[in-house]
Structure 1
Amino acid sequence: CLHHLRGEFAFALWDEPNQTLFAARDRFGIKPLFYAVRDGTVVLASEAKALFAAGVPARWDPASFHQANSLVPIPDQDRSLFDGVRQVPPGHYLLVSRGNLQVVRYWDFDYPPADSAPPRSDADYAERFRQALDEAVRLRLRADVPVGCYLSGGVDSCAVLGLAARHRRDPIRAFTLTFDRAEYDEGAIAREMAERAGADFYPIPIRQADLADHFPDAIWHSETLCINAHGVAKFVLSRAVRDAGYKVVLTGEGSDEILGGYPHFRRDMLLHDNGGQDPREVGQLLEDLQRANPVSRGLLLPDGQGLSLDGVRRVLGFAPSWMEANATTGFKLHALFSAPFVAEFADRDPCRSLLNGLDVNGQLAGRAPVHQALYLWAKTHLPNYVLTMLGDRMEMAHSIEGRVPFLDHRVVEVVAALPVAQKIRGVTEKYVLREATRPVLTDTVYRRHKHPFTSPPVALSPNEGLHELLQDTLRGPVLTSLPFYDQAKVVALLDRLPAMDVSERTAVDGVLMMLLSACVLHDRFKLAA
C-alpha cells in the first residue's frame, strides 16, 4: 500500500487476527515516528516525550550525543539522542509479529550511475520538472480551510508561491520572517515577489529578544540540538500563522536537498565534478564562493581545522563538503568535551558509523560525487534537522500543517534522474528550478544566489536577550550537570567572544547553539546520563 501513498505521513496499524503491528513513515521523514521496546512491549509515538510519558526512561544516549557533536547536529538515521528511543527511518516501515521486529526499506532516492542520463535539451528537462512540481503544488492546495505560503527571498518558496497563485482566484497570504540585521533580512525581496504573485504580504518581525523568549520551548518541541536560532524563528512564525487564523501552509523545504542548493554542493561540483576545468579557474571560483557566502562560514562551508574524514575518503574516494564543514564545527565541540567523555569515545569514527548504516554499494558506488553528497545529506540532515528544527516540529507546535511540494516523491524521482549539470550549472545552484519557474519569478529572485535561512548569530548582539540567556546558561548549574562538556573550557570560550571579529563570531555560532540547546534538553526533560 505504501507505494500508492503520496505526501507526508506516519501511521501505525494493528492487525488483530494476525497479531501483527505495521507502522510506516513517509519517504523523506517529514513526519516523525519513534519507537522503543520496554518490558517486551513495542511503544510508538510521534515524539520522544510521549515515550517518556509511557514509561521509557528519559536518558541521554552518549554514543548518539557524541555522533551529533561530530557530524553536527545529527545522530545516525535510525537513532535519537535518547537511550532506547529509535526512529523508523524515512522510507521504511516497522513490522512486529510474535516477538519479531523488522525495519524494512520500501523507497530510496536511486540516483543513476554517473553519465547515464539520456541526452535532452535544457528546455525538455525544465518542462518535465515544471509539470511535476506544478502538480505537487496543485494537489497540496486542496483543503477545506485557507492555505497560506511561507515566503522568503529564496527561489524555492518564491517558486511555490508563484505556481500556487496560478491555481487560485483569490490572493494567497504569504508569511515572511524579517530580521533586524540587513545581511539576514529578506523582507524586501519577499515583498517584491508577493506583489508579483498578487499575494497578501504578511511580514513577521523577529528580534533577538523574541528568540530568547521562545528558545527553550522551541528546543523542547524539536527534541534535538540546533546550530542556529533559525528554528526558534520558525517556531515564532508558526505561532503568528496560527494567530492569523491559518492552519495549512505550503513551504519550500526540500528543494536545496534535491537540487543542490547549498554552497557546499557547489563546492563539491567545483572540486569533484568539474569536468576537467582548469585548476586555476576552479581555485578562483572556490575563493569567490567562500567570499560570497560569509554567513555560511562554519555552518555550510568549512572553517579551520576539522575532525578526520579519512574513513569517508577511503570508502567514497572523496569527502563531501558538508561533512568537511560539519567536521570543523565538530572539532571545536570536541575541544570542549570532558576528559571522561573523550576517553569513552576515543576510538570511535562517527563517519564510518554513519556509512555502515547505509547501502554504500547499492546507492553510492558509481554515482557522481554531487549525487553522493546529496544522498548522504538527505539521509541525515534532511530528516534529522531540516524537517525537524525547521519543519514539522516547529509547525505542529502551533497546530500548523506544513505541506512540502518539493518532497513529493514524484518530483524527487524526476529530479534524481536529472544530470548534475541541471542542478548546478557553473556556480548557479538549482538551475533547472530557475528555468522551469522563471515565468512566475521576479528577476531579483531568478538571478539571486542561495542565501541560507539563518537568524543573526547570537554573538553579534552581546547586549540582547539571547546572548544573556546563552551566558547565564553556559556559566550556570545546568551545564555543570551535563556530563559531556568541561565547563571551564566552555567558560573560556565565552570569555574569548568579545575579542573575536564578526567573521569569527559567525563561525562559532553553531558551537554556541549546540551547547545551549543541549542544556535546554537536559533541563527540560531531566535527562539522566
Structure 2
Amino acid sequence: MCGIAGFLNNSGVKHTEFVLNAMLTRIRHRGPDDCGLFLSDNACIGNVRLSIVDIASGTQPMSVQNGRYWIAYNGEVYNHPELKKILEKKGHRFYTECDTEVVLHMYQEYGAEGLSQLNGQFAFVIWDTLEKELFMARDRMGIRPLFYTKPDHNSLVFASEIKALFEFPRVNRALSVEGLNQVFTFWTTLSPNTAFKNIYELPAGNYAKIKNGNIIIKPYWSLSFANRQQISLTDAVDQFRDLFRDAISLRMRADVPVAAYLSGGIDSTTTTAFIKKMFPEALRTFSIGFEEKDYDESVFQKQVAQHFDTKHHSVSFKNEDVAGLFEKVIWHAEIPILRTAPFPMFKLSKLVRDKGIKVVITGEGADEMLGGYNIFKEAIIRHFWSKYPQSKWRPLLLKKLYPYLPHIAHSGAAGLKLFFGYKLSETSSPAYSHLLRWNNTSRIRKFLSKEYNVDDNSLVQKYEELIAAEVKAYSPLAKAQFIESKMFMSGYLLSSQGDRMAMGNSVEGRYPFLDHRIVEFCTQLPDDLKIAGLDEKFLLKQVVKDVIPHSVLNRPKQAYRAPISQALLNEKSGFVDATLDVSKLKDLGAFDPQSVAKLVSKLRQNHIVSEVENMALMGMLSTQVLFDLYIKNYKPLKPDEVNRGRVMNRIY
C-alpha cells in the first residue's frame, strides 16, 4: 500500500521538486519504504511506497516501455497474476512482478473500460505524456482515498490525503460550513464534499479525466440492490462460501506476512476461521480490549484465538488514551468525528506495526452487506409499529436492540414512543430507516453559531431528493443498506476507522467481505436471508454454524463502541477545558460558547448521558482540534523537514 500526490500545470510554482517532495513527506506514513517522483512542465506525480508485493522492483512512479504513460498507484489488485497472463497473450511485456505494472498495462490496453476487470482496492493516477491528460480512478467501494482541488481553472492538485494538498503553495485552508453541517447530520460529508472548503474526493467507483483544465468524472461501477434473485438457503450458503473462500485466498497474496484482526464478533471470527482452514500454518491475530467492561470483548477474543490456535496479540484501551491520542487521530482522520471508535483502531494498528506486520485481514463490510446493523432492525420494527401507531407493545421491541443505552433500556412504551416516534408514519421516505438517526444527530447543530448553521430541514430533504429515483423500487431493508453502504461505509467506516487509522501506522487493511463479487452477490439476496425475523446476518450464521465457536455464533449483537464523556471529563490533563476554551472557540467561530459551556457543565453533573450529548462533545472537540491542526497552527514543511525522493524521470 502506498500514498500518491502530484499536480498539473505548475506555472507560478517555484521549486516544483521541493513542493512534490513536501507533499509526499506529509503522507510518508502511508509509504515509509520508498519514495519516487516524475517531474515535467505539465505534470508532477509522486509516490511513497509500503512494499508488500514485488518488494525489490516495484518502485514508482512507473512507466510502460515507450515512456508514454506514467502511473502513481496506491492499492492492491489481487487478481493481477491472472490479468497479467491475459495481457501477455496480447503481446504485453513485463519487467516486474508487481500489480502496479499490470494496472498500467491494463490502462494501455483497455483504457477506462479495464477498471471493471480489477479486483481490489485502489486509487491511482496515470499521466499520458502524449495527450497531456491525467486519468484518476478509485476502487468500487471507496476503500482507498483520493482527494483533489483546483487552485485555478488550469491547475489541479491531488493526493491520497488532504494534508498533502496543503503543501501546495496556492491551496487555501478553510473549514467548510456545508461540510460541518453534513457531519453534524449524517456523521460524514456527502461525496464529493469534505470537511474543507474547495477540497473534494473522487467518489468511490468513479474515474476522472483532466485535460486543458477541464475535469470529467464518470462512474464505472455503482452499488445497486435492484436485481434481487430468488435463491434457496442451501444454494446461497454454497455460493457465498465459495466466493468468500476465493476472496480470502486472493487477499492472502503478499510477499510479507498477513495477519488478521480479531474482535470477538462473528465477522472477524469468520475471516479467522477461513484463513486457518485454507492456510493451516501459524496465523497471527490482533485484538484490542477495554478497561471499561461495557465495551470489552476480550473474553470472546481469547476463546476464538484458542479455538483456532492462533498466535494472538492484544492491547488494552484505557480511558486516558482518548485524550492522549486525540490530536493524532484527528490528524489522520482529517474530518470531525462524533464517536471515539477510531481511537482504539489507531492503537490496535500500532500494535500490529510494532510486531512487524504490514497487512491485516479485517471484517468490515459484513454488517452492511448481510444486514448486521441495529439500524436495519430498527427500521423493520418502526415499519411494523407504524401500521398500528397506538400500540403499547410494538415499540417495546426496540428495547431489544439497545440494551447498552440506559435511557432506552429503562424506558417504558411512552418513553420509547417519544424517542423512536419521529416521522413514524413517513414510511414512503426513501431514507425512512435513517430519518430518526439524522434527526437526533442534527441536534448537535444547535451548538453551532448562526454563521455556521444552515437550514435544519434542507440537508435531509436534498438527500432524499438525490436518491429517490434510484431506490424507488427497493425494499425497506435494501434502502437502508444502500444508504449505509453508499454514504456511511466509505465516508466514515472505511476512512476514519479503516484506511486512515491503519495507514497512520503504515498498516494495510484488506477487506474480503468487500470483494466486489461478494457485494454484488449480497445485493441480490432476498431480505429474509439477511435478517430472518430479527435475527441479523442470518446467511452468514448458516455458513459458519459448524465452523466457529457457538459462544460467538449465539452471542447477542454488540455494537463496536468506545467511551466518550466518561473518558474525557474525568481525565487529569484538562484537555476538554483547554480545547473548548472561550478564546479558542472564538478563533474558529463555529460554536456558541454559552451553549458549549452549558453542555460540559451538564455532562459533568449527570451520570446518565445521552448518545447525542456524547456525540456533541466529540463533534465540538474534534472540530476545534481539526481547526487548530490544519488552519490556525498549520505550518508548511521547511526544507530540512522534507524527505528527498528518487527522481524516476525528469522532462522539461
Q: TM-score, normalised by structure 2?
A: 0.74
**Equivalence for 1:338:** 449
For residue 165 of structure 1, what is the aligned residue in structure 2? 276
Which deviates the most, 269-278 or 122-131? 269-278
Among 315, 339, 350, the alignment partner of 1:204 is 315
Shift of 1:243: 0.5
Alignment match, 1:500: 606
1:353 to 462, 467, 472: 462
Tell me if 1:422 matches 2:529: yes
In the alignment, does 2:580 pair up with 1:438? no
Write the deviation string for residues 155-211 of structure 1: whole angstroms up to 9, x where unpaired: 111111111111223221111100011110000101101111121121111111222
Kindly provide the amino acid, as one letter, of the partner of residue 622 in structure 2: S
Task: Please identify, of 42-51 and 321-330, the stretch whose mean Cα deviation from structure 2 is larger.
Answer: 321-330
Between the aligned partners of 2:290 and 2:371, the Cα distance in structure 1 is: 26
Contact 1:295 1:506 in 2 (8 A): no
Q: Determine the structure 2 residue equivalent to 1:75.
A: 189
Counterpart in the other structure of 1:329: 441
Cα drift, residue 15 of structure 1: 1.6
Cross-structure match for 2:226: 112
Match of 1:264 in 2: 375
Residue 527 of structure 1 deviates from its aligned partner by 5.4
- Match of 2:197, as an amino acid? D
Please point out which of 348, 353, 378 is paired with 1:237.
348
How far does residue 292 in structure 1 lie from its aligned partner after superposition?
A: 6.1
Is the Cα contact below 8 Å between 1:268 and 1:320 reproduced in 2? yes
One-letter amino acid matched to 1:47: E
Q: Deviations over 1:246-285 (max 9, x none)?
A: 0000011111121221111111123337998997764342
How far off is 1:355 after superposition?
Answer: 4.0
Cα shift readout 1:475-512 (whole Å, capped 9, x = no counterpart): 3532231222101110111111133233x255521111
Amino acid aligned to 1:70: T
Partner amino acid, structure 1, of 2:437: A
For residue 286 of structure 1, report the CA deviation from its aligned partner: 2.4
SS of equivalent residue, structure 2 residue 166: helix
Aligned residue number for residue 220 of structure 1? 331
TM-score by length of 1: 0.90
| Secondary structure, aligned partner of 2:149 | strand
* Alpha-carbon distance change, 274 to 12 in structure 1, aligned in 2, over 3 angstroms: farther
2:577 aligned residue: 471
Matches within 5 A, 1:6-405: 6-39=119-152, 40-55=154-169, 56-71=171-186, 73-112=187-226, 116-118=228-230, 120-272=231-383, 282-291=394-403, 316-317=428-429, 319-331=431-443, 333-342=444-453, 345-346=454-455, 349-358=458-467, 360-361=468-469, 363-405=470-512
Hey, what does 2:413 align to over in structure 1?
Answer: none
SS at structure 1 position matched to 2:624: helix
**What letter is aligned with 1:413?**
E
Opposite residue 203 of structure 1, the aligned amino acid is S
Secondary structure of the residue aligned to 2:189 is: coil
- Of the three residues 573, 584, 593, the one matched with 1:487 is 593
RMSD: 2.7
* Cα deviation, residue 324, structure 1: 1.4
Work out the CA distance in 2 between the residues paired with 1:175 and 1:188: 14
3-state SS, counterpart of residue 192 of structure 1: helix
* Equivalent residue number for residue 620 of structure 2: 515
Would you tell me which structure has more helix in proportion to its own residues?
Answer: 1
Please state whether the residue corresponding to 2:150 is helix, strand or coil: strand
Matched residue type, 1:329:
T
Deviates more, 1:56-65 or 1:284-293: 284-293
Alpha-carbon distance change, 126 to 471 in structure 1, aligned in 2, over 3 angstroms: farther
Whole-angstrom CA distance in 1 between matches of 2:236 and 2:619: 40
The CA deviation at 1:97 is 2.4
Amino acid at match of 2:398: L
Distance 1:367 1:346, change over 3 A: closer
Distance (Å, rounded) in 1 between the aligned partners of 2:172 and 2:420: 34
User: Which whole-Å deviations, capped at 9, do the CAs of 1:54-95 have from their partners, x for residues lacking one?
Assistant: 131111111111221122x21111111111111111111111
- Equivalent pairs counted in the alignment come to 511
- CA shift in 2, pair 1:275/1:488, >3 Å: closer
**Letter aligned with residue 179 of structure 2:** S
Which residue matches 2:82? none
| Amino acid in structure 2 at the alignment position of 1:352 | Q
CA distance in 1, matches of 2:150, 2:534: 48
The CA deviation at 1:465 is: 4.9
Amino acid at match of 1:18: E
Report the secondary structure of 2:631's partner residue: coil
Contact 1:35 1:86 in 2 (8 A): yes
- The aligned amino acid for 1:482 is L
Would the aligned equivalents of 2:320 and 2:568 in 1 still touch at CA under 8 Å? Answer: no
Displacement of 1:347: 6.8
Q: Deviations over 1:429-463 (max 9, x none)?
A: 11111111223211011112321211123236642
Q: Report the CA distance between 1:320 and its aligned residue.
A: 3.2
Q: CA deviation at 1:348?
A: 6.0
Query: Which residue identity does 1:526 align to in structure 2?
Result: I
The change in CA–CA distance for 1:318 and 1:42 in structure 2 (over 3 A counts) is: closer
* CA distance in structure 1 between the partners assigned to 2:353 and 2:535 by the alignment: 36
Q: Is the 8 A contact 1:253 1:404 kept in 2?
A: yes
Answer yes or no: is the 8 Å Cα contact 1:178–1:203 preserved in 2: yes
Aligned counterparts of 1:174 and 1:296: Cα–Cα separation in 2: 35
1:525 is matched with which residue: 596, 616, 630?
630
Contact 1:10 1:23 in 2 (8 A): yes
Partners of 1:295 and 1:305 lie apart in 2 by 10
SS in 2 for 1:402: strand
Name the aligned partner's letter for residue 459 of structure 1: Q
Amino acid at match of 1:349: S
Question: Any gaps of 5 or more consecutive residues in structure 1?
Answer: none
Would the alpha carbon gap of residues 220 and 295 (structure 1) be closer, same or farther in structure 2, given more than 3 Å must change? farther
Conservation of the 8 A alpha-carbon contact between 1:60 and 1:527? no
| SS of corresponding position for 1:3 | helix
Within 1, Cα distance between the matches of 2:600 and 2:247?
A: 47
Q: Equivalent residue of 2:484, what SS? A: helix
Could you tell me how far apart the structure 2 residues matched to 1:303 and 1:146 are?
A: 52
1:372-416 Cα offsets, whole Å, 9 max, x none, are 111111121111110111100011111101001111100111111
Q: Alignment partner of 1:35: what SS?
A: strand
| Matching residue of 1:455 | 562
Q: Tell me whether 162-171 or 453-462 shows the greater mean CA deviation.
A: 453-462
Map Cα deviations across residues 314-342 of structure 1 (whole Å, 9 max, x no partner).
9x5364333412320211x1221213334
Q: Which amino acid is the alignment partner of residue 9 of structure 1?
A: F
What amino acid does structure 1 have at the position aligned with 2:122? F
2:22 corresponds to? none
